[in-house]
Chains A and B, each alone.
Chain A
Amino acid sequence: MRNPLADKVVEIKPSGIRKFFDIVSEMKDAISLGVGEPDFDTPWHIRDEGIYSLERGRTFYTSNAGLKELRQEICAYMKRKNHIEYDWAKEVLITVGGSEAIDMGLRAMINPGEEVLIPQPSYVSYEPCAILAGAKPVIIDLKAENEFRLTAQELEDAITDKTKVLILPFPNNPTGAIMEREDLEAIAEVILKHDIFVMSDEIYAELSYKEKHVSIASLPGMQERTVLINGFSKAYAMTGWRLGYACGPADIIGQMTKIHQFAIMCAPTTSQYAAVEALKNGDPDIEEMRVAYNQRRRYLMNAFREMGLECFEPYGAFYVFPYIGEFGMTSEEFAQRFLEEERVAVVPGTAFGNSGEGFVRISYAYSLENLKVAIGRLERFVNKLRAQKG
């Protein structure tokens, strides 16, 4: 029999988090700090609207690009939060999670062999999606000394005449790094100079703990070359509803919509009705969750300081990314031993790219009570390792 599989697919490495989680799920008494989704339930008024839409029998497809009302609410949201104006009819596409938007966006923009710049450590989907779209992924290794921000110089150094798209993943999973206005202005200059495009993954935009999040699309000259991706999973604790969206120039969104219509048809209708309610009345929920995350973030940073664990202060998402290089182990060894000896799961930084070596990702999408138990175990583990080293 002939090989039924496509080489391009087989050659893609499976996600590094996977094999780790398989072990964790076998351990009944393990505490996980590995999960990348909010611990909150979707606010009740949003769930209620989803239920109501089912009661009303709204069980049909929506238009391919998504409910008109939802697209209009997204435009209102973009104006309110980012001061960007989009045309709801031509510049917005509702997708099955932000992750579909990443896939569709790259497929719509890439010709074979064109280069996609992917700063790492970052979300694990960019590279496989770029490869599947026929691109050559080019990794930019972000540095702890820059607080894992992307600098203009790093960007400049990575650009060739084949570069087409820069993926800009901030606030960042797994580092928690953010890009502030000055950082964005510096890289926008390089982007304009080289006439490349940006896919800005702002799924964690609402979880910013310093100034309000700034979108690169709001900078002069950037809206027409940026596909802005966002969604409901993180801001409204709606991961299971699978709903995201892309906003961008009409020609790109139009082609994305074409692929989406053939591959997906439309995003789930119930989720879209619930999302309308989220955008209309959900701002206080976002704020309440943001405050709770921020308290946990401060708690963890303080705990690291007290146990002398090096960690730059992250101002976004719900992750901290402490440095564990002092123990003379790889990230994977550290995570493995921490799990075996203390029954706490963290994710090795290398799951998010080679530049994550020496770090582990700790999620604080857990209650303070859970975090306290886990931190107690981390402290014991760290002290043991230090004693062993002598």
Chain B
Amino acid sequence: MREELLAVIEKNSRIDLKELAVILGVQEIDVVNELQALEDEGVICGYHTLVNWEKTSLDKVTALIEVRVTPQRGQGFDNVAERIYRYPEVRSVYLISGGFDLMVILEGKTLREVSSFVSDKLAPLEQVLSTATHFILKKYKDHGTIFLQKPEDEREMITP
């Protein structure tokens, strides 16, 4: 049930326990225990809400920053990654294969705020060799969800 449970709550973390038990065909107590175990094991790391901020009055700017760094002896990339992910405005940090090393996803209120983070905080770091900042202009799809009005049910009546 573990993977099916995760697949369901990854799409809808607000589903109630009773309903979850029904659609998975197990007892409610088993769902409770499994969720607890998943949280304890760090498989479930949080319950978030997917927000399309573009539809709100709040201004937000998201940037993807490619960072090339010098790995440190004995530490690899972990040390410099930590220096970066400690900043609260940093949403995600991934170690990447290919032309650069770290992908940093940053959220700020304005373009200026994001660029000053890059020039004042990120670029001056000793291990950072270079950065390339890409601003997100429009989000079409995020976390597997398409940010569009759902179309009506277009199935026509047909017999048989």
Residues of A within 8 A of B (CB): 15, 17-18, 21-22, 24-25, 34-37, 39, 99, 123-125, 291, 294-296, 298-299, 302, 368
Contacts and interface: CB of A to CB of B under 8 A. Distances in A.
9 contacts: A22-B157, A36-B158, A36-B160, A37-B158, A124-B160, A125-B160, A298-B24, A299-B22, A368-B23
A76 B160 CA distance: 30
A299 B157 contact: no
B65 to A, nearest CB: 30
B40 interface: no
Nearest to A15: B159
Interface in B109-160: 153, 155, 157-160
Contact of A35 (B4, B8, B155): B155
Contacts of B160: 15, 17, 36, 99, 123-125
B25 interface: yes
A35 B8 CA distance: 25
B23 A295 contact: yes
B19 interface: yes
Q: Which of B8, B25, B158, B159 has the largest count of A CB atoms less than 10 A from its CB?
A: B159
Interface in B1-20: 4, 7-8, 19
Contacts of B19: 299
A21 B24 CA distance: 33
Interface string B51-75: 0000000000000000000000000
A365 to B, nearest CB: 9
Given A17-B160, A39-B153, 4 more contacts: A291-B4, A295-B23, A296-B23, A299-B23
Contacts, number: 41
Interface of B: 4, 7-8, 19, 22-25, 153, 155, 157-160
B141 to A, nearest CB: 12
Nearest to B7: A291
A368 B14 CA distance: 14
Given A15-B160, A124-B160, A39 B155 contact: yes
Given A291-B4, A295-B8, A21 B23 contact: no
The 7 closest A-B pairs by CB, nearest first: A295-B23, A21-B157, A124-B160, A15-B159, A302-B22, A17-B159, A18-B159
Given A15-B160, A123-B160, A298 B153 contact: no
A317 B24 CA distance: 18
B14 to A, nearest CB: 12
A25 B19 CA distance: 31
Contacts of B155: 35, 37, 39
B159 A295 contact: no
Contacts of B4: 291
A294 B153 CA distance: 21
Contacts of B24: 295, 298
A25 B23 contact: no
B8 to A, nearest CB: 7
A15 B160 CA distance: 6
Nearest to A37: B155
Nearest to A34: B157
Contacts of A99: 160
B159 A21 contact: yes
B83 to A, nearest CB: 40
Contacts of A17: 159-160
A301 to B, nearest CB: 9
B144 to A, nearest CB: 12
Contacts of A37: 155, 158
Nearest to A291: B4
A278 B91 CA distance: 37
A380 B140 CA distance: 40
A296 B19 CA distance: 11
Contacts of A291: 4, 7
